[in-house]
Amino acid sequence: MGFPHMLVGYMRVSSDSDRQTTDLQRDALLTAGVDARHLFEDRASGAKDDRPGLAKALAFVQPDDVLVVWKLDRLGRSLSHLLTIVDTLREQQVAFRSLTEGMDTTTPSGELLFQVFGALAQYERALTRERVIAGLAAAKRRGRLGGRPPAIIGEKLDTILAALNGGMSKAAVCRNFGVKRTTLIETLARVGWPGTRETLRR
């Protein structure tokens, strides 16, 4: 990566009442050199997984920019989600900096860690694909693949599963991929995706 072009900040708070954490994140990002005009924010609610602020930040950054967060857990809800985002940044040639952990991919050691994150993300995708194949094989053995062909298969299914593993909500998947919720739930049950039974009960 070349010389960083712009610092872009992202912050996330758990609720509207978490004012102290909001101010702490904002102050840290501004002190690090992020322009207030380049701050993106999400306010998480318990039942909603969508992050419009993060989506805008990822769409805003350009090659050689640096995405800055206060802590790693502000960026990803889980390790798989974090790996997905970091891998996306790497593919966009966007650097990443986490202030609390001291992670900075504009440095040689940080760039090495960035590459490790990318390798882990590829490994996660490979595991997801293996689980999909195993789930399809198990469903076929149980005779659940006869009759009408599934509406979600192949690369589209792989992409949807990767999005879900990365933290995207089922509602967001339906909107972004143009699939019906019932079709999505049936497909997840067919491949044995974790949490499908609980979703069906709801």
Q: Both tokens of residue 73?
A: 């857990």
Active-site residue, 17 included: no
| Residue 199 to residues 159, 171, 185, 196, Cα–Cα distance (Å) | 20, 12, 8, 5
Residue type at 10 in one-letter notation: Y
Task: Look at phi and psi of residue 156 and say left if phi exceeds 0, alpha if psi is from -120 to 50, else beta.
Answer: alpha
| Residue 160 to residues 72, 143, 163, Cα–Cα distance (Å) | 24, 24, 5
Q: What is the side-by-side order of every strand in the sheet holding 39-43?
A: 39-43, 7-13, 66-69, 95-98, 103-104
Q: Both tokens of residue 98?
A: 């986490």
The residue whose two tokens read 């950054």 is: 61
Q: What is the gyration radius of the CA atoms in the chain, in angstroms? A: 19
Catalytic residue selected from 14, 45, 78, 109: 14
Distance, CA of 109 to CA of 36 (rounded, Å): 28
Query: Could you give the 3-state DSSP secondary structure of residue 117?
Result: helix
Active centre residues (catalytic): 14
